[in-house]
Amino acid sequence: MILEKERKQIITFSLKMLNDNLTNGTAGNISIFNKEKQLVAISPTGIPYDLLTPQDISIVDLNGNLIEGKAPSSELEMHLIFYRNRKEINSVIHGHTKYSTAIACLQKPLPAIDYMIALTGNFEVPCAPYASYGTKELGDNCFKTMGDGKACLLANHGITTVGENIESAYNILSQVEYIANLYILSKSIGEPIILDKYEIFNMIERFKNYGNK
């Protein structure tokens, strides 16, 4: 069984995403790119997270050809576009998070009401134009809107985050959902103050060295 480590990581983080209320049912998907083998491990379509086995995890090449496992997630193209074009990215997570998706339903970006938004590499989390799930258009919209950042809302759909590893991509997903929750709560009692973009860019630079001392 190839990419055994990646398969197990996908199951671990799929269950974590479910238990942390960052998705529901079989919604959402996770992938990991193995650069050495030039293969992608991705969660399969339609199987509940708590029933996943390592053998179920789909293994595909960068052209989307199935190598092993069950049929891959319908959002495969949204994952592959990042691995083909951003060499620093090794994991992609797509979630149907409650608060981030609520903001995505407004088709507006999530602003910087908390400095931790800097983890996304941008001064806001942009929102990609709507496209039907599983389409190339959705993947293209997500990729173009995210730019060099690491998070993007998907209009009337959900959120996608990327990272150099699965831990990073998951942390960004979790932090963005927390900030989205704060934004909705603060809007209910007043008008939240948006941090200056220069402060956020300063935080982005500081985070690059965080934990290295």
Other CB atoms within 10 Å distance of the CB of residue 45: 16
Token reading at 29: 């998907």
Residues with Cβ within 8 Å of 14's Cβ and at least 6 positions away in sequence, in order, are 28, 30, 43, 49, 52
- What are the tens digits of pLDDT across the range 80-114? 999 999 999 999 999 999 999 999 999 999 999 99
92 touches 51 (CB < 8 A):
no
Q: Which CATH architecture has domain 4-208?
A: 3-Layer(aba) Sandwich (3.40)
Q: Is 6 designated active site?
A: no
Residue 26 pLDDT > 90: no
Boundaries of every domain in the chain:
4-208
Element (H, E) at 81: helix 76-85
- Which position among 6, 75, 77, 177 bears the catalytic label? 75
pTM: 0.95
